[in-house]
Chain A
Amino acid sequence: MALAREIYQALEDIVGKKNISEDIGVCESYRSIASQTSAHYGPFDHWTPLPQAVILPGSTEEVQNVVRICNKYKIQFKAGSTFYATMAYIGSDYAVQLDMRRMSKIEIDAKNQCAIIEPYAIAAVVQAEAMKVGLNLNIPGVGCSSSTLASTSGWAGFGPTSIFMGASGENLLSAEWVLPDGEVIKTGSAGAGAGWFCGEGPGPSFRSVFRGVTGVAGSMGVCTKIAVRLHPWPGPTFLPSDGVLPAYKAVLPDNFKCYTLCFPDWEGWTTAAAIIHENDVLYLGHRQYNMFGRNLKGAMIRILTDPEKQLCDLPELLEDPELQKQNESMKLEFQVVIAGMTKKDMEYKEKAIDEILKLSRGWKNEMMLEKDVHDWALLYLLRLGHKNLNYVLCGAYEGNFGMSSNLYVTTPLMEEASALKRKWEVEATAIAATGGDSEMGSISGIGGGGVTGWEYFTNFDAYDKDSIRGTKEFFDDTQRWMTEHGLGGDFSRWNTECRREDSYNYTQEEHDSFFVKMAQPHVMAYQWKVREAFNPNHLGGSYYRTLTPDKVPEGK
C-alpha cells in the first residue's frame, strides 16, 4: 500500500520536498539484489522489498522527527549510508528507506586522536582528513568507499589494521543515536556534554544495546554521529598515489614496508601468526591476495600491477614458469605492513620480522618485493580502495567457511576445507575454479591478536540462476562441514536468521523456532526484552534476533 497523503506530507514537511521521493524509479534503486555480496546472506535469486518512500534527512533532528512519524503510523524504517550489504535495506512492504548521504561531516580532534563523524563520512575521506594530522583509522574489509559510522556502529568491522588499531567496535567512543521510539541518546561522556572521548558509562554502558560482537545492522533506530579512535600515521600528510589504473601505487618513505611472508606448511604459518599476536610489530596483517585463489593469485597480481595486461592474459600467465615458481613460493602466505614511528623503531621491526621468519621457517616472497608490486600492495592494503577486485573474476563473490576462532584449531583444517571447495570447483560448474584455497582475512580480528577474521572467497555469476543455486548448495555443504568440525556457523549464513530467503522479515514465531534450540537461549530472550524496551513498535525489522522469553526451555 502507498503511504497515505497526510503521512507523506508530514515526512515531506520534515526534510523538504527535494529530500523525499516515492517515484517508482527512485524507490526501485533502493532495492538490493540478494544474489551477491550480501555480507553474508544469500546467494538468493530475489530482491529486497520496494520502499514506500526514500527519505534523505539532513540532521539528527530531522531523523528524530521522521522516526516519530514512523512510530505514530507504525511504518517500518531502515537507514543506510553506503548500502554495501542487504542489511541496509528494508524487509517489509510497509516501510520507508532512509538514505543518510546528506549527513557527512567530519571533525578531527588531533590531540585526543579521534574523529567525530556523521553517517556518510566514508573511510577514504576520514582517512585523508586524519592523515593531514598524522593519524589513521581502522578500515575494515568492506573497504574505504563505505561509511565508517556504519561499519563501526552497525556491523563487524575487522580488517587488515585491526591487529594494531583494534576492530571498529573497539574504536567506538561516544555515539549519538536516535532510538527506535524517537528519543535521542548520546552514550558515554557525550551524554553529559563532557566531550566525545569515552563511550562507556556512566555505570553500565548503553552501547550494549546496539553494539555487541556486531552492530544491530540498522534494526534499532538510527545512529547519527559517532566518535572513532584514531591511530598513528607516521607517513606524509596525504597518501601519495602514482601509476595507471588499475596499477595505482603508493610511493611512501622507507619507514613503510610491505612484505608477503611465506611458509612451508600451516604449522610454520601458525607459529608466525602466534608470535605476531604476542608482539607489537605489525601496522597491518592480512592474508589478502589469496582471495584470487591459490592457483591464480600470482598471475592476478601481475595483471593488476601492469596496466598493459588484462584478464584475458590470465591463461598465458598461468603457463609462465617463473610466475609458477613465485606462486608456489607464496602458496601459504600472508601480507604484513610494518611502519616505523622512528628510524630505530623501523630497524627493530625489520629485525623482528626476520626473527619471526627464522622461528617459523618462513621467507619473504621475491615478486612481492619488486618496487612496483610492493608499492601497489602498500596502497591496496593501507587504503582498501580496490574493493572492485573482489568481483573481477566472475562478477560476484560471497565469503564462506569463516573459521575465525582459535588459530591452532583452524589452521590444521585449512587443507581439508580447501579440498572441499576444490571438489565443488572441479565437479560442479557453479563456482569459479581458483585452486580450492581462497581463504583470506585478518591476522587478527581484534586488537592485539587472539582471534582471526577469515573467510573463503567464492566467485560465481550473480546473473546466472544455476550459478546462484549451485553456490547456495556449496554453502550448504560448507555449513555441514563446519558443523561436523565444531566450528559453528558458516560465514555465508551469518544473516540467514535475520531475513527470509524471499528477503522479507521473519516473524517472531520463526525466530522462536530457531533460537529455542540454542545452547544458551537466554541470549536471544534478553535481546527480546531489550527490543521491547527500546523498540516497542518493532519498526526495525528482524535483524535484531529475538526469542520470546517464555519459550526458553526449563533448566536452560
Chain B
Amino acid sequence: MFDSMKEKLATIVGADNVKDDAGILESYAKDQSFATGIRPWFVVKPQNAQQVQDLVKWANETSTPLVPVSSGGPHHKGDTIPSVPQSVIVDLSGMNRILNINRQQRMTVVEPGVTYGELQEALAKEGMTLSMPLAPRATKSVMTSVLEVEPRLNANHQWQYHDPLRCMEVVWGDGNSMFTGEAAGGVKDLEKQWDAQKWQVSGNGPNMFDFLRIPTQAQGTMGIVTWASLKCEVLPTIHNMHFVPAKKLENLIDFVYRVIRLRFSDELMVMNGSYLAELLGESAEQIQQLKAELPQWVALVGVLGRELLPEDRVEQQTSDIEEIAQQHGLKMVPALPKIKGDKVLAKALNPSKELYWKETAKGAYQDIFFVTTLDKTPMFLKAMYELAEDEGYNTSDIGVYIQPQHCGSSYHLEFHLPYDPNNALETAKVKRMFEKGSELMSGLGAFYARPYGMWAKLQLNKDAQSYNALKKLKKIFDPNDVMNTGKLTV
C-alpha cells in the first residue's frame, strides 16, 4: 500500500517532489510548540494548482489526511503537524511565484510560497508595500499570514477584518476548485481576467455566501489556497516611528483609544519593555541589557507620508499625536535611550533575521494570544502576572504585545513566554504556564478567534451553536475530512 501510494503521488507531483526520508518526515512531525504530532507518511511538493487539485481528489479517494504547509520552519502553533497517522504533508513552498503586481490598482497576486522579504522587495520596485505583521519569521509565507489573519500593524487601514486579503483560488476539501470574491464572477483564468482589466480587488462574495471567510483562520482544514490577491499601499516617502513611554499599561490605554479614535497614526502598538527588548536585541545578553534600560511600557506610533504632501501630513500627525500624549500626561519622543525610531521601524516592518527574534532570548518560547478590547487588557495582564508568580516564572520575562485591529474595534493581546528548551524544569514550567494561562484567560473572557491546539477546545466548548455550525460548514467543503484532520475539533 505504501509503495502504491508513493507511486500514485509521484504521478501527480513528480517523483522528485515526493519525500519519505525519515529525517524529513521527522521534521514535519513536530514543531516548537507543546503540541504532540504524528509522523507523516509522505511530504509532497506540488508545483501548480492542478497538482494540488489532483492531490485533494486522490486524498478523497483514498481517505488520506492532507496537511498543507506553506511557510518554512520553525513552526510554533501546532497547526502544521499531523494529528492523525498516515497523513501527507502538502508543502506549498515550491509554489512561490508573484503572479502579478499592479500599481494602478495597488494589487498583487501571490502563490503560497512567497515570503514577505521576496514580496516587499518586488513591490518596492513598483513603488508599493504591503501592510505587515510585526517582524514575521524570514520563512513566513505571506499567504499563510493573511489567511491566518495575523494582526497587522496598520489598524487604521483595516476596514475589513481580513485586509489586505481579497480574492483567492481555493481547492476545497472535496476537490472542487474555484475563485472567490470578485474573481469568481468571471472566467476562471487570471490572465483572461487581467486582459479584461479585472484585478481581483473586491474580496467578498461573489454572491451572498462569503467564501473568503471559510479558508481564513481555518488552519488548512477547509481547503488549499493556491493564489491570493492582496491590497497594497503606496510606498512612503517619509516614515517615522515615535515612542510614548509609560510606567504602567493603564497609563497608555486612554491615549491609544484617543489616537485610534481620531484615525491618527499609521502604525500603532503597545508593548512592554521585555517584548521590545526581544524585538530589538541581537543576542540574549543584549536583550537582558535592553530590558534593564527600556521603559516598562511603551506605545509605538508610526507616522508616514506617501506621495500627496508627505511633509505636511507627517508634521500634522506628529504634532497632533504629541498633543494627545500631553493631554494624557505622557510624552511622545523620537527616541528612547540608545534606541532610535528608525531602528524599531526597520525591525518591526521587515522579516526577522534567520534566527527568529522571538527565539533569541532563550532559544524557545510559547505565546498565548487572543482577541479582546483594550479596556480589558489590564485585567488579563494582572491575572497572567499572578499566575506567573504562583508558578515561579519570572514576570519580567513575560513579553506583552497589544495590537489594535480593524480600525480599533478589537485588539490582539499576546503574552510571550520565552524559555530555555534545554532546561527541562523551565520547559515544564512554561508548559504549565501555557496550559493554565490559556484556561485562565479563557475564563476571563479571552476570545481565541484563531483557536490553535488546546484553544480549540477551550473556545468551541463555550459555544455549542458555533461549533455545530462549524461542523456543518466543514461537511460542505471537506465532506470526507481529509484537510488537516483533527484540527479545530473538540
Contact = CB atoms under 8 A, between A and B. Distances in A.
Interface string A197-227: 1111111111111111111110100000000
A231 interface: yes
Given A170-B160, A202-B466, A216 B208 contact: yes
Interface in A469-487: 486
Contacts of A522: 176-178
A344 B320 contact: yes
Contact of A204 (B205, B206, B213): B213
B450 to A, nearest CB: 7
Contacts of B456: 202-203
A194 B218 contact: no
Interface in A172-205: 173, 183-189, 191-195, 197-205
Interface stretch (B3-11, B342-350, B359-367, B471-479): B471-479
* Size category, A interface: 35 or more
Contacts of A112: 373-375, 409
Contact of B407 (A229, A275, A451): A229
A406 B431 CA distance: 51
Which of A185, A189, A200, A203 counts the most B-chain CB atoms under 10 A from its CB? A203
A341 B264 contact: yes
A345 interface: yes
A102 interface: no
Contacts of A445: 202
B208 A203 contact: no
Query: Residue among B208, B319, B466, B475 with the most chain A CB within 10 A?
Result: B208
Contacts of B468: 183
A29 interface: no
B472 A447 contact: no
A104 interface: no
Given A341-B263, A522-B176, A448 B196 contact: no
Contacts of B234: 278
Contacts of A544: 208
Interface string B183-197: 011111000000011
B217 A204 contact: yes
Contacts of B106: 277-278, 450
Nearest to B266: A280
Nearest to A533: B472
Contacts of A529: 476
A527 B445 contact: no
Interface stretch (A45-53, A350-358, A430-438): A350-358
B25 to A, nearest CB: 27
Contacts of B186: 519-520
B297 interface: no
B371 interface: yes
A486 B201 contact: no
A323 interface: no
B104 interface: yes
Contact of B448 (A134, A202, A409, A530): A202
B184 A195 contact: no
Contact of B316 (A169, A215, A348, A520): A348
B217 A203 contact: yes
A447 B409 CA distance: 15
Interface stretch (B277-285, B301-309, B330-338): B301-309
Interface in B394-437: 406-410
Contact of B447 (A169, A198, A409): A198
A142 interface: no
B261 interface: yes
Contacts of A526: 209, 211, 476-477
Contacts of A20: none
A230 B247 CA distance: 31
B316 A345 contact: yes
A121 interface: no
B466 A191 contact: yes
B389 interface: no
A170 B206 contact: no
Given A114-B409, A450-B202, A207 B213 contact: yes
B263 A111 contact: no
B215 interface: yes
A523 B181 CA distance: 10
Interface stretch (B61-69, B114-122, B457-465): B457-465
Given A166-B159, A197-B410, A545-B208, A203 B218 contact: yes
Contacts of A448: 157, 159, 231
Contacts of A198: 161, 371, 406, 409-410, 447, 449
A408 interface: yes
Contact of B206 (A206, A213, A409): A213
A232 B372 CA distance: 21
A206 B466 contact: yes
A488 interface: yes
A234 B409 CA distance: 18
A345 B314 CA distance: 11
A355 B309 contact: yes
B239 interface: no
Contacts of A409: 197
B483 to A, nearest CB: 11
B469 A206 contact: yes
A342 interface: yes
A204 B470 contact: yes
Contacts of B450: 201-203
A169 B374 CA distance: 23
A543 B409 CA distance: 31
A152 interface: no
B216 interface: yes
A512 to B, nearest CB: 15
Given A348-B313, A488-B185, A204 B218 contact: yes
B248 interface: no
A213 to B, nearest CB: 3
Nearest to A451: B202
A192 B371 contact: no
Interface string B246-270: 0000000000010001111000000
Contact of B210 (A212, A342, A405, A447): A212
8 contacts: A166-B160, A170-B160, A197-B372, A201-B371, A216-B208, A342-B316, A348-B313, A450-B202
A-B pairs, 9 with minimum CB distance:
A447-B159, A213-B205, A201-B449, A166-B159, A208-B213, A212-B205, A205-B213, A208-B210, A191-B463
Given A208-B211, A488-B185, 13 more contacts: A189-B371, A189-B447, A192-B447, A193-B445, A195-B372, A197-B373, A198-B447, A204-B215, A208-B473, A212-B211, A348-B313, A405-B201, A446-B160
